[in-house]
Amino acid sequence: MLFTDTINQCAEVAGMLWQRGWAERNGGNLVVNITADVDDNIRRLPPLAAPVSIGATLEAIAGQYFYCKATSCRMRDLARKPMDNGVIIRIAPTGDAYEIIACKPLQPTSELPSHLAIHNYLAANRPEMKASLHTHPTELVALSHVEELCSTERMNETLWAMIPETRLFCPKGLGFLPYAEPGSQTLADGTLEQLHDHDAVMWEKHGIIAVGTDMMDAFDTIDILNKAAQIRCAIPHF
């Protein structure tokens, strides 16, 4: 497959998430747009199951292709066998449904509608961004338990002050969302709003979602932000 390198990169990132302790059990999700690498053989693949409604019409990604982690699958398993723990989906030409075309009839991540809404925004406004990554970085989540840091302004002031690379490589900073139920429309809408100005969004007491030109780029953003959070957590009398 032409996009083997892209999926192998997803597997590499999944392994690093597990090694860092950011992807406990089946936690976290990743979705990457592979449309640019799809050839005619892939386009001719029949669906493995009936179409599934997205619950919205996403015109900007109509007819496009994505690789995503399968629901209930673990990042550590995706790292070893990406096609046994992930699926390739095709968005319907109408933009309101998707179908699984490879490699097994697994269900995509339960957060898929939120991720696809993000990719729809990216395709329309920031087409160079192809990947979305959600994970649970320990120190960043810890900072979101500190009440006085629970705002976009205060969180960025804190992280940018820790190490110069944070401001250099994450100049847009981190959007912050107050706690919302995982998978809720409130969380999805708030995330989309924050992505207008940021490449990553902190979900209070939950985790972070980042976008990037590819999956490694999205990972790098989270890695840098969490390094700053590690330094803050290491300061005595935190």
Calculate the CA dihedral of residues 101, 104, 107, 112 and round it to 10 degrees: -50
Q: How far is CA 228 from CA 1, 72, 155, 171, in A?
A: 38, 30, 11, 13
148 counts as catalytic: no
Instruction: Summarize the confidence of residues 179-205 as an average pLDDT.
Output: 89
Termini Cα distance of the chain: 49
Q: Is residue 172 within 8 Å of residue 197, measured between CB atoms?
A: yes
Instruction: Summarize the confidence of residues 156-182 as an average pLDDT.
Output: 93
- Per-residue pLDDT, 135: 97
Q: Which of 107, 135, 163 is the last residue of a domain?
A: 135
Same domain for 41 and 2: yes
- Per-residue pLDDT, 188: 85
Same domain for 166 and 127: no
pLDDT at 3 over 70: no
Percent of the chain with pLDDT over 70: 98
Q: What is the pLDDT of residues 15-71, one digit of tens each?
A: 999 999 999 998 899 999 999 989 888 888 898 989 999 889 999 999 999 999 998
- Per-residue pLDDT, 49: 87
Same domain for 230 and 190: yes
Q: What is the pLDDT of residues 69-91, one digit of tens each?
A: 998 899 999 999 999 999 999 99
Q: Which of 94, 109, 135 is the last residue of a domain?
A: 135
Same domain for 83 and 46: yes
Q: According to DSSP H, which parts of the chain are helical?
A: 4-19, 40-43, 75-80, 112-125, 138-143, 152-160, 164-169, 185-194, 215-234
Same domain for 155 and 228: yes
**Closest by Cα among 181, 183, 188, 178 to 121:** 188
Same domain for 130 and 58: yes
Q: Is residue 17 within 8 Å of residue 75, measured between CB atoms?
A: yes
Same domain for 157 and 110: no
Same domain for 184 and 160: yes
In the numeric block, the tokens 């006085």 are attached to 148
Catalytic residue among 111, 157, 181, 204: 111
pLDDT at 105 over 90: no
40: domain CATH number? 3.40.225.10
Same domain for 81 and 170: no
- The mean predicted confidence, pLDDT, of the chain is 92
- Per-residue pLDDT, 23: 94
Residue numbers of the domain that contains 72: 1-135
Same domain for 117 and 17: yes
Distance CA 204, CA 151 (A): 9
pLDDT at 186 over 90: no
Same domain for 54 and 130: yes
Q: Which of 135, 169, 189 is the last residue of a domain?
A: 135
Same domain for 238 and 172: yes
Number of domains, the chain: 2
pLDDT at 238 over 70: no
